[in-house]
């Protein structure tokens, strides 16, 4: 005669214990991140106060003056620091090359400080307006070298594709104060497209 034995014991369950140092580290990181998120309404795209921004851009222009065609290409770089979330102060370096249909060319290098005021209508969108002033060094066929005072205004849109990288579109106006020849001033309008990176 055989007997059957039934095992009524409940199945064993395993519990995972998170080490206390790991919990403390997670809590500390959360505490550090909370003030920034609260201060900017959760918008942490782009540079915060004290961070640096690198800007790289390209521009192209075509114009006709007195039936004479001109093409110009430019490349620029900016390094700026955000004194606070809205206030941006930096330095711009820009090189421009112009080819003239009838022959000859002109080159220009601009160097000077800039300021932008930024605001954030959406979490991934930043708008800005600002100004700049500096020196423009020119070398043109037939007129030699010259240096002018240049100043201008700019407005732009940054669309953040990641929290630390943005595509930028910027229309700008520049006035050149010329103190040689018959011309005393020159105006220029440009549209720039570029990339901004938080350093």
Question: In this predicted model, what pLDDT tens digit does every residue of 88-143 receive, in sequence order?
Answer: 999 999 999 988 776 778 888 999 999 999 999 999 999 999 999 999 998 876 66
State yes or no: pLDDT of 12 exceeds 60. Answer: no
Cα 20 from chain centroid (whole Å): 41
**Residue 142 backbone class (left: φ over 0; alpha: ψ -120 to 50; beta: rest):** left
Alpha carbons 2 and 22: distance in angstroms, whole number = 55
DSSP for residue 84: S
Provide the pLDDT for residue 135: 95
Residue pLDDT, tens place only, 156-192:
999 999 999 999 999 999 998 876 655 567 788 889 9
Provide the pLDDT for residue 144: 65
State pTM to two decimals. 0.71
Q: Return the closest-CA partner of residue 172 out of 69, 55, 49, 46.
A: 55
Residue pLDDT, tens place only, 20-69:
655 555 564 454 433 333 334 455 899 999 999 999 999 988 766 566 77
Average per-residue pLDDT for the chain: 81
The structure tokens 């201060």 sit at: 39
Alpha carbons 167 and 79: distance in angstroms, whole number = 16
Q: Categorize the per-residue pLDDT at 18 as very low, low, confident or very high, splitting at 50, 70 and 90.
A: low
DSSP for residue 13: -
Q: What is the CATH number of domain 52-198?
A: 2.40.160.20
Separation of first and last alpha carbons in the chain: 83
Across 14-18, 39-43, 123-127, 148-152, least confident range: 39-43
50 or 17: which carries more pLDDT confidence?
50
Q: Return the closest-CA partner of residue 158 out of 54, 50, 42, 34.
A: 54
Tokens coding 12 = 């064993």
């Amino acid at each position: 005669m055989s007997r059957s034995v039934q095992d009524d014991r409940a199945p064993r369950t395993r519990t995972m214990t998170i080490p206390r140092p790991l919990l403390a580290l997670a809590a500390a990181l959360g505490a550090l991140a909370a003030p920034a998120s609260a201060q900017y309404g959760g918008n942490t795209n782009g540079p915060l106060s004290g961070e640096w921004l690198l800007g790289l851009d390209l521009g192209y222009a075509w114009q006709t003056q007195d039936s004479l065609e001109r093409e110009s290409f430019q490349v620029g770089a900016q390094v700026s620091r955000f004194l606070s979330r809205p206030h941006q102060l930096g330095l711009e370096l820009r090189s421009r090359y112009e080819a003239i249909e009838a022959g000859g060319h002109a080159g220009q290098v601009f160097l000077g400080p800039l300021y932008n005021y930024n605001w954030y209508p959406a979490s991934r969108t930043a708008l800005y307006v600002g100004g700049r002033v500096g020196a423009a060094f020119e070398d043109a066929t037939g007129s030699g070298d010259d240096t002018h005072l240049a100043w201008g205004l700019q407005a732009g849109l940054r669309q953040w594709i990641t929290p630390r990288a943005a595509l930028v579109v910027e229309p700008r106006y520049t006035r050149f104060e010329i103190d040689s020849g018959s011309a005393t001033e020159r105006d220029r309008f440009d549209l720039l497209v570029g990339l901004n990176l938080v350093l």
